[in-house]
């Protein structure tokens, strides 16, 4: 089916105009500035920072999100979307997809989570974060709508409200397409009210097991909850059981399904000899596109898998009326940057930050680090959520780090106690310390390294965000670590 990108229906704008003129319904609290808007949001239930044992059946209710969107005149229906779920690689896949579509001439919204420093990072158009005034305006409109939710629906969560604000903003700005990342799972995720052009699943591994299931097959079925009848679904390479669960889920609802390397003719190769340094190149062949030896913009074999999913999304978008010439896609990919993924955040001492947050992503991180970075000793600053596969992550850390400094994200109820992490590391790594916060952890790490050594901050995107904030403050004071 071929369609042109839609014009803005104006529904979200019309709903706001009615409220502004005093038409029906209750008003939410008055939000005058960023402090007011973020303060109001942060006072809502925040699943990202909750202890999973406190998340009950009423916390994740897709019906409430539908009700909230209806009060806003369903802005998500005015926007064509790509919907991406998975355990790891969702953010990278969204960025590569969005950059490619932008280079092809489209106005592209992106909604991802979590943010590293500023909540506005989650809502972007053509990679520019929503402005402060626009953010406050969108949140105000959502607050007004939330004030009119039936009591039976319960209080909307932080993520639901922010998701609604993103849809309001994208509809009002009349984006051609929005690339939407799920927050948690898929089936009951707040983003799963969209009617997408394409759905995509990145690599699946054990994560959020108390909520999504205790096997990768169960988790796969939850992620596959974003599949829609008649809508193409693509997936990264998966373990056999995961691939079977995804394929079966797609068949049950009638979603055409393609797995990279099987139904989807995509290949990649690693080149260590080029003058541009070690890198992967990727190719896709289909009746619609010939992408030959495109440079994967992010480092690591796992990013080649993510890039493969992004190219598969673009290929399926062609079936829906979008134009994705190879030259423009190449140009778009070459502009991709991914904060918090193998990101060099300080020069002396060298500090790299990566938000790897489960055993498989930590394993991929160390593999990519050794392929792309030279160092003598490696000091890892590590902190993670208590509901993660801690044993699996510590196994990888213990085998790769010369020293580990355990810390935590302050104010996060999900954060694991550093002393508990040190105890659980046990004999895997004798050189370890604890620190109460990221600032102290980085100070301890800096004293432990020499010129040719490397500090790696990992275990959580929230921890990476804390590290970036701390280092930004140091830079602003023109002070060394």
* pLDDT tens by residue, 343-365: 999 999 999 999 998 898 899 99
- Beta-strand pair 257-259/233-235: parallel
Structure tokens at 337: 């940057």
pLDDT of 416 strictly over 70? yes
Burial class (CB in 10 A: 0-12, 13-18, 19+), 66: middle
pLDDT of 263 strictly over 70? yes
Closest by alpha carbon to 451, among 350, 312, 362? 350
Closest by alpha carbon to 457, among 392, 385, 407, 410? 407
E strands along 213-367, which residues? 233-235, 257-259, 266-271, 279-285, 290-295, 343-346, 351-354
Q: Which residues of 340-373 are buried (b: 16+ CB within 10 A; e: fewer)?
A: bbbbebbeebbbbbbbbbbbbbbbbbbebbebeb
Q: Are 348 and 458 in contact (CB under 8 A)?
A: no
Strands laid side by side in the 279-285 sheet = 266-271, 279-285, 290-295
Closest by alpha carbon to 268, among 258, 256, 281? 281
User: Tokens 């909230």 map to which residue?
Assistant: 68
The predicted structure's pLDDT at residue 210: 62
48 vs 359, which has greater pLDDT?
Answer: 359
Distance, CA of 49 to CA of 32 (rounded, Å): 26
Closest by alpha carbon to 184, among 210, 216, 212? 212
Contacts 24+ apart (CB under 8 A), 255-259: 255/199, 255/227, 255/228, 255/229, 255/230, 255/231, 256/230, 256/231, 256/232, 257/227, 257/232, 257/233, 258/232, 258/233, 258/234, 258/312, 259/234, 259/235
Burial class (CB in 10 A: 0-12, 13-18, 19+), 49: middle
CA angle centred on 462, ends 308 and 82, rounded to 5°:
35
User: Tokens 């030259």 map to which residue?
Assistant: 327
- Beta-strand pair 108-111/123-125: antiparallel
CATH for 11-333 (3.90.1150.10, 3.40.1190.10, 3.30.70.580, 3.20.20.10): 3.40.1190.10
The predicted structure's pLDDT at residue 2: 36
pLDDT of 301 strictly over 90? no
Q: What is the mean pLDDT of residues 135-142?
A: 98
* pLDDT tens by residue, 428-464: 556 899 999 999 999 999 999 999 999 999 999 999 9
Other Cβ atoms within 10 Å of 472 Cβ, number:
12
Closest by alpha carbon to 72, among 126, 116, 30, 28? 28
Distance, CA of 253 to CA of 245 (rounded, Å): 13
The stretches of 292-358 forming alpha helices (DSSP H) are 301-319, 326-333
pLDDT of 185 strictly over 90? no
**DSSP conformation letters of 128-153:** EEPPHHHHHHHHHHHHHHHTTS-GGG
* pLDDT tens by residue, 421-438: 999 987 655 689 999 999
The predicted structure's pLDDT at residue 61: 78
Helix (H, G, I), strand (E, B) or coil at 456: strand
pLDDT of 391 strictly over 70? yes
Structure tokens at 409: 């994200």
Closest by alpha carbon to 299, among 92, 94, 126? 92
Rounded to the nearest integer, the mean pLDDT of the chain is 89
User: Tokens 């003719």 map to which residue?
Assistant: 265
Helix (H, G, I), strand (E, B) or coil at 180: strand
Sign of CA dihedral 314, 318, 322, 327: positive
The stretches of 147-203 forming alpha helices (DSSP H) are 158-172
* Percentage of residues of the chain with pLDDT beyond 90: 72
Q: What is the mean pLDDT of residues 305-333?
A: 96
pLDDT of 8 strictly over 50? no
Domain boundaries defined on the chain: 11-333, 343-476
CATH for 343-476 (2.60.40.1230, 3.40.50.300, 3.40.228.10, 3.90.190.20): 3.90.190.20
């Amino acid at each position: 089916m071929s369609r042109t990108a839609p014009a803005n229906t104006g529904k979200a704008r019309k709903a706001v105009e009615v409220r502004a003129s005093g038409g029906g319904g209750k008003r939410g609290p008055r939000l005058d500035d960023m402090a007011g808007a973020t303060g109001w949001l942060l006072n809502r239930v925040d699943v990202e920072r909750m202890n999973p044992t406190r998340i009950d059946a009423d916390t994740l209710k897709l019906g409430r999100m539908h009700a909230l969107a209806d009060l806003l005149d369903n802005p998500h229906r005015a926007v064509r979307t790509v919907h991406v779920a998975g355990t790891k690689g969702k953010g990278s896949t969204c960025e590569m997809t969005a950059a490619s579509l932008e280079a092809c001439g489209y106005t592209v919204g992106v909604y991802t989570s979590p943010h590293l420093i500023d909540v506005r990072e989650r809502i972007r158009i053509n990679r520019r974060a929503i402005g402060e005034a626009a953010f406050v305006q969108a949140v105000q409109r959502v607050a007004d709508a939330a004030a009119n939710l039936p009591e039976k629906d319960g209080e909307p969560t932080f993520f639901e409200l922010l998701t609604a604000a993103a849809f309001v903003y994208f509809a009002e700005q009349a984006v051609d397409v929005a690339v939407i990342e799920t927050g948690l799972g898929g089936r009951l995720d707040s983003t799963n009210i969209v009617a997408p052009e394409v759905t995509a699943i990145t690599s699946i591994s054990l994560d959020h097991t108390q909520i999504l299931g205790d096997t990768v097959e169960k988790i796969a079925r939850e992620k596959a909850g974003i599949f829609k009848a008649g809508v193409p679904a693509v997936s990264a390479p998966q373990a056999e059981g995961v691939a079977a669960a995804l394929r079966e889920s797609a068949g049950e609802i009638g979603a055409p399904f393609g797995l990279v390397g099987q139904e989807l003719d995509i290949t990649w190769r690693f080149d260590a000899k080029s003058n541009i340094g070690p890198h992967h190149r990727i190719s896709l062949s289909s009746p619609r596109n010939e992408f030959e030896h495109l440079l994967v913009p992010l480092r690591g074999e796992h990013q080649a898998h993510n890039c493969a999913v992004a190219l598969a999304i673009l290929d399926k978008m062609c079936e829906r009326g979008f134009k994705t010439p190879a030259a423009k896609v190449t140009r778009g990919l070459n502009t991709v940057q991914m904060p918090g993924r193998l990101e060099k955040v300080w020069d002396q001492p060298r500090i790299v930050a990566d938000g790897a947050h489960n055993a498989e992503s930590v394993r991929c991180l160390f593999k990519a680090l050794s392929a792309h970075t030279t160092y003598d000793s490696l000091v890892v600053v590590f902190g993670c959520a208590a509901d993660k596969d801690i044993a699996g992550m510590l196994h990888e850390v213990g085998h790769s780090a010369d020293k580990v400094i355990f810390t935590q994200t302050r104010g996060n109820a999900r954060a694991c106690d550093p002393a508990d992490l040190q105890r659980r590391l046990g004999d895997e790594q004798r050189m370890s310390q604890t620190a109460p916060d990221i600032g102290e952890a980085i100070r301890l790490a800096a004293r432990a390294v020499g010129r040719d050594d490397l500090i790696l901050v990992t275990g959580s995107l929230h921890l990476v965000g804390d590290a970036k904030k701390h280092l930004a403050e140091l830079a602003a004071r023109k002070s060394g670590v």
